[in-house]
Structure 1
Amino acid sequence: MKIRVICGASTRTLEVDSSTRLDECVALGIETSRNQAQALIKQGAITLNGTLCQKCGLRLTADTSISIALPPSTQAKPTTQVPEMAITRIYEDEELLILNKPPHLVVHSAPSVREATLVDWLQAQGVMLSTLSGAHRAGIVHRLDKQTSGAIAIAKTNAAHAYLSQQLKDRAMGRYYVALIDKPLKEPRMIACNLARHPNNRLKMANIDAMGQHSTAARFSQSVFIPLINTQETSLLAIKLYTGRTHQIRAHLESINRHIVGDRLYGYSGALECRVMLHAYLLYLTHPATHKQMVFRAGIFGDMLQCAQEIFGVKEFDEAIRQDEIVQAFNHWDSAYRAK
């Protein structure tokens, strides 16, 4: 059956079956994630044949017209006092902003968060932000854990947000991470498993396949880990995600008895007292307006840089993290993933 989706000056006609839900049609119509479509529905941004509808799971009938009123981008003031933060802007234009997020900074607010967040800082800077994910997550297309540093993309407009979200879903947008771990990894390793909350620690995610358990909330996950330098005690890894699950890298490494240096939650027991030594080093995407493929590099912060250079040597470390070498190291795995 045919469903018409109207968003601003754009109209699309979708061919869907009779079991299709409203949130699925909204997501398809504006090329965004289902979560963001559900947020728009709950915000009252959707009308069906002129009538407001806030039921995400509503089954549609033939010849239904869906109208979507995207909320305007925002420059709202932060709700908490924002301290001075030295955050590097790697790239910026009218559609998007690429930042190098420092460690120890929460990306967006949550009930348990009391300190200023990256969103608060963006609003204090007067940056125009998309609102597809709601006011408290304004501009946030994807997130990084508090202690994880590195490249993060911020959407300034709702159109850019929708475009980038679809890329994230299709894995056309992603990141290459680097990490220090507590035991050497001798050869590249692909880990594919179901992740769910750890049965004994709700703060953690776990490879429940390796634990011999089952959960209806489990989600498939896949990562590739490539050692760049090894010593007898540790490895510098390059990591690429082929799915985007909470704590995916940390949980995958724990399942093979490896731990990121500093990651006490997931089992690191070494002598170093530091934050989690994980950094989103490279970010790749297609620009939402120009459709040009772009790669951004986020410089590694001093704490992790000093630690790595002391372990591996300055010259050896600099050679290991060359951008072209890291990207090429995953070519085989990328081809295998696309061939599925």
Structure 2
Amino acid sequence: MKNFTITCQDLSHSAKLRVDHFLCNALAQSKNQVNQAIKNGLVQINSKVCKKNGELLKVGDKVSFTPLQKPKSECLCEFDYEIEVLYEDEEVLVLNKPPHLVVHSAPSVKEATLVDYLKAKGYQLSNLSGEERFGIVHRLDKDTSGAIAIAKSNQAHIALCKELKEKTMGRYYLALIDLPLKDRVEVECLMGRNPNNRLKMAKLPYGRYSKTTFIPLLGTSPSLVVAKLDTGRTHQIRVHLETLSRHILGDKMYGKKDNSSLRLMLHAYLMYFIHPISQKKILIQAPLFEDMLGFLKQNFSLEDIDEVISQEHILECFGDYF
């Protein structure tokens, strides 16, 4: 497999930085993946094999990295549906992920995933994150629907990860919640694994910084809100709403454990990013799926829905213009 090279000054202004930390942040790799690559002699610094994961880098150092390869396996999954393509060129693919589909495999995942779908359809994608996370730049929860960006080349993968970190890639989510928000509100907190329930995340006095801005769009109870992510932590929108004593309809993990048949009413609606090659700013809208759209139609007029979820209205709410 062909490797690739990145230069420290492109991704960090630190005078010195550990090579393992640098690669984890730059390429969205797990620490274990990076350390295994170093152990197997797959990382070079200025054309010399790196032997220590704690080796320090200087601005201007060139780091070459060859992702670990697993034996190729055919995807035996069969899919009787097509996932809507919202955008595609030689570098980037954006899909409208349906609900109830896990993005990539994990020890607890038994069903077919979005990665399995991509393999079954024969896509040639970035291999930076290995075969299990084939082309995946960012995740969506299983029951969250909407726009998800996938890298078709290693160069695009590096660029999009950098955009996520530097916030030149942005995402707006539509959520149906149980109680209204009176006004625009920003939630900032540190987040980490809930010490009382390892399946959940929580606001904690320690952890990773997170920030979401919420703006009410329609209704009282239920209420439609739009959320703009400033960071992308696991379950971030759900945890931030919980700090406001609000919950997404259908959220049986953080909200009411009732017999509702609703899935999590959360949809990644708008996404923008700078194209890795052309450097043009791209804005993509992911149409709502019928379950969420049908619920909106039952509770609000179609005219009101169309007005508040228009691209122009949402961007104006946040003072963003394209």
TM beyond 0.5:
yes
2:209 to 205, 220, 232: 220
The answer to whether structure 1 residue 274 and structure 2 residue 274 are counterparts is: no
Structure 1 106/27 Cα, relative in aligned 2: closer, same or farther at 3 Å?
A: closer
Paired residues of 1:89 and 1:99 also in contact (CA < 8 A): yes
CA positional deviation for 1:188? 1.1
Matches within 5 A, 1:50-89: 50-53=47-50, 55-60=52-57, 66-71=62-67, 78-89=74-85
Partners of 1:136 and 1:187 lie apart in 2 by 41
Distance in 1 of aligned mates of 2:296 and 2:53: 48
Using the alignment, how far apart are the partners of 2:84 and 2:261 within structure 1?
26
| 2:42 matches 1:42 | no
Deviation at 1:86, TM superposition (A): 2.2
Shift of 1:64: 9.6
Deviation of 1:39 after TM superposition, in Å, equals 3.5
By how many angstroms is 1:16 displaced? 7.1
Task: Report if aligned partners of 1:23, 1:34 keep a CA contact under 8 Å in 2.
Answer: no
Q: Is the 8 A contact 1:186 1:230 kept in 2?
A: no
Given the superposition, is the C-alpha separation of residues 192 and 25 from structure 1 closer, same or farther in structure 2, using an over 3 Å criterion?
Answer: closer
Q: How does the TM-score come out when normalised to structure 1? A: 0.83
Q: Give identity over the alignment, percent.
A: 46
Which of 228, 244, 263 is the aligned partner of 2:232? 244
What is the CA deviation profile of residues 245-288 of structure 1, one whole-angstrom value per residue up to 9, with x for unaligned ones? 11000001111110000001002356632110000000100001
**Alpha-carbon distance in 2 for matches of 1:255, 1:45:** 44
Q: Which runs of 5+ in 2 are unaligned?
A: none
Distance in 2 separating the partners of 1:13 and 1:219:
23
Q: CA–CA distance in 2 between the matches of 1:18 and 1:190?
A: 33
How far apart in 1 are the matches of 2:258 and 2:28? 41
SS state at 1:329 partner? helix
Once the two structures are TM-superposed, the CA of residue 58 in structure 1 deviates from its matched residue by 2.1
- Aligned with residue 294 of structure 1, among 282, 301, 309: 282
Counterpart amino acid of 1:126?
G
CA distance in 1, matches of 2:84, 2:240: 30
Which of the numbers 49, 63, 86 marks the counterpart of 1:90? 86
Give how far 1:318 is off.
1.4
Residues 175 and 281, structure 1, Cα contact 8 Å, conserved in 2: yes
- Per the alignment, do residues 24 and 54 of structure 1 end up closer, same or farther by CA in structure 2, a change over 3 Å counting? same
State the partner residue of 2:311: 323
From 272, 278, 285, the counterpart of 1:284 = 272
SS at match of 2:198: strand
Check whether the contact 1:36–1:132 (CA below 8 A) recurs between aligned residues: no
Q: Which residue of 2 aligns with 1:211?
A: none
Change (3 A) 1:272 1:150: same
CA deviation map 1:180-216 (0-9, x unaligned): 00111111111111111222211111122xxxxx34x
In structure 2, distance between residues paired with 1:13 and 1:188: 38
Amino acid in the other structure paired with 2:127: T
Unmatched 5+ stretches in structure 1? 1-6, 209-213, 335-340
Aligned counterparts of 1:262 and 1:52: Cα–Cα separation in 2? 51
Question: How many angstroms apart in 1 are the aligned matches of 2:45 and 2:16?
Answer: 17
Instruction: Check the 8 A contact 1:109/1:136 in 2, yes or no.
Output: yes
Match of 1:305 in 2: 293
Task: Give the direction of change, closer, same or farther, for the CA distance of 1:90–1:199 in structure 2 (3 Å limit).
Answer: same
* Residue 172 of structure 2: aligned partner: 176
How far, CA to CA, are the matches of 1:145 and 1:301 in structure 2? Answer: 16
Deviation at 1:40, TM superposition (A): 4.7
Which letter maps to 1:316?
D
CA change 1:135–1:312 in 2 (3 A) is same
The alpha carbon displacement at 1:84 in A equals 2.0
How far did residue 102 of structure 1 move?
Answer: 0.1
Change (3 A) 1:193 1:64: closer
User: Match for residue 3 of structure 1?
Assistant: none
1:160-193 deviations in whole A, cap 9, x for unaligned? Answer: 0000000000111021000000111111111111
Q: Does 1:230 align with 2:219?
A: yes
